């Protein structure tokens, strides 16, 4: 298949060979988006972040739809977004409708996801949709972008949509082979980039990136700087397949304990731990792998971006 043009700044930067960094914004059960917009502003100020992911009901929770925040961040902050869309809550009809709505709003990147099951979220009794899976969603997007049709081949008035889209891959997957085979199938359906779930062990990450090299598709490796011990603990315990290294958990706990009551000192200590852990990690990835960049999932932890990314 001929390579699709880079419509988004993210894909353009990747094409130019830059080592890109993306951030993450998480609209939750909120009416006020000022915090999200502030986070985006802070990310933009660092000058290091090319685009910010906007999550779509992570962990199966009922949160604000990702469409509007994705648009507002682009419109009000001028920061490009990677619009996360899961197939958990919408059937093919709604997905098509949302995607063209997003295209009209000027969104340029979609990240296709299956989505955590509703049984894991805060509306456990709800019925998940999963009408199509994320691979089929990729096929549908390819048709919309490359052929200008819906999923049944009906023409889209006004031509083709101009977007790039990616899929996710999980480096923590055990066994790994079915995961790699699945990614291969998504590549066949025309994805523009791969964004991975978070990795903490550099050797494992490198190994995974090596496995993905065969597809010749840019990969953004997921990293997750830990804003607090609580978040690290939650991530370790509740995010499928992710385990935070014990030493890292312990040092975060100690830092919080030692600096109890002194917020600036606590923040400084936590930032130091993260920089000491992730800076060499990212350097190693940049130096020794073919990764196109990293996806930094530090939600509401923008203060780290400047010092962490100063050399990138």
Partner 1 sequence: MIITQLKDINEIYEMIKPYNKILVAGCDDCCQPPRSLNEAKLLGQLLELKARTEGKDLKWKAITVLRQCDDRIAATTVRPFVEEYEAIVSLACGLGVVMMNKILTSILTFPAQNSHFGGTQYNSENNFIEMCETCGDCIIGETGGVCPRAGCAKHLSNGPCGGMVDSMCEVGGYTIPCAWVRMWERLKEFNRLDLFKKYRGPRDFRLSTSPGYIEIYKEYTNEQEEKKEGKE
Smallest distance, partner 1 to C-beta of residue 183, A: 8
Q: Which residues of 40-59 are buried (b: 16+ CB within 10 A; e: fewer)?
A: bebbbebebbbbbbbbbbbb
By CB under 8 A, is residue 53 in contact with partner 1?
no
| Matching residue, tokens 């009901």 | 57
Cα separation, 91 vs 97, whole angstroms: 10
Could you tell me the two tokens for 11?
Answer: 């894909």
Number of residues that this document lists for the chain = 312
By CB under 8 A, is residue 131 in contact with partner 1?
yes
Smallest distance, partner 1 to C-beta of residue 151, A: 7
Helix (H, G, I), strand (E, B) or coil at 113: strand
- Would you give the end-to-end CA distance of the chain in angstroms? 33
By CB under 8 A, is residue 139 in contact with partner 1?
yes
Of the listed pieces 164-172, 251-259, 265-273, 297-305, which binds partner 1 according to CB under 8 A?
164-172
In the complex with partner 1, the residue whose CB is nearer, 35 or 182, is: 182
Smallest distance, partner 1 to C-beta of residue 5, A: 24
**The binder of partner 1 chosen from 112, 142, 170, 274 (CB under 8 A):** 170
**The binder of partner 1 chosen from 8, 109, 112, 172 (CB under 8 A):** 172
**The binder of partner 1 chosen from 74, 109, 189, 289 (CB under 8 A):** 189
**The binder of partner 1 chosen from 22, 81, 197, 251 (CB under 8 A):** 197
**The binder of partner 1 chosen from 119, 122, 123, 276 (CB under 8 A):** 119
Query: Contact 21/48 with Cβ under 8 angstroms?
Result: yes
Could you tell me the two tokens for 105?
Answer: 């709003």
Cα separation, 4 vs 181, whole angstroms: 22
Residue count, binding to partner 1 (CB under 8 A): 38
Cα separation, 56 vs 95, whole angstroms: 13
Query: Contact 66/101 with Cβ under 8 angstroms?
Result: no
In the complex, which residues of this chain contact partner 1 (CB under 8 A)? 88, 92, 114, 116-117, 119-120, 128, 130-136, 139-140, 151, 168-170, 172-175, 177-179, 181-182, 184-186, 188-189, 197, 240-241
């Amino acid at each position: 298949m001929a390579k699709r043009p880079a419509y988004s700044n993210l894909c353009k930067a990747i094409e130019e060979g830059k080592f890109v960094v993306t951030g993450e914004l998480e609209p939750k059960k909120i009416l006020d988006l000022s915090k999200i917009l502030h986070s985006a502003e802070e990310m933009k100020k660092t000058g290091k972040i090319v685009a910010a992911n906007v999550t779509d009901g992570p962990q199966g929770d009922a949160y604000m739809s990702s469409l509007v925040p994705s648009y507002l961040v682009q419109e009000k902050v001028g920061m490009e977004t990677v619009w996360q869309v899961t197939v958990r809550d919408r059937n093919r009809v709604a997905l098509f409708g949302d995607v063209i709505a997003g295209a009209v709003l000027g969104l340029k990147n979609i990240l296709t996801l299956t989505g955590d099951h509703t049984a894991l979220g805060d509306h456990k009794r709800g019925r998940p949709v999963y009408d199509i899976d994320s691979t089929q969603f990729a096929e549908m997007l390819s048709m919309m972008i490359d052929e200008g049709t819906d999923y049944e081949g009906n023409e889209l008035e006004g031509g083709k949509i101009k977007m790039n889209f990616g899929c996710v891959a999980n480096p923590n997957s055990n066994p790994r082979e079915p995961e790699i085979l699945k990614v291969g199938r998504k590549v066949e359906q025309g994805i523009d980039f791969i964004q991975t779930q978070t990795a903490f062990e550099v050797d494992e990450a490198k190994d995974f990136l090596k496995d993905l090299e065969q597809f010749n598709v840019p990969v953004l490796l997921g990293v997750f700087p830990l804003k607090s011990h609580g978040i690290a603990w939650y991530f370790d315990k509740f995010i499928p397949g992710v385990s935070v290294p014990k030493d890292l958990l312990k040092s975060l706990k100690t830092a919080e304990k030692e600096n109890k009551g002194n917020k600036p000192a606590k923040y400084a200590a936590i930032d130091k731990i993260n920089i000491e852990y992730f800076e060499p990690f990212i350097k190693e990835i940049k130096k020794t792998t073919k990764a196109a960049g990293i996806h930094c999932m530090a939600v509401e932890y923008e203060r780290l971006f400047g010092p962490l990314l100063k050399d990138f």
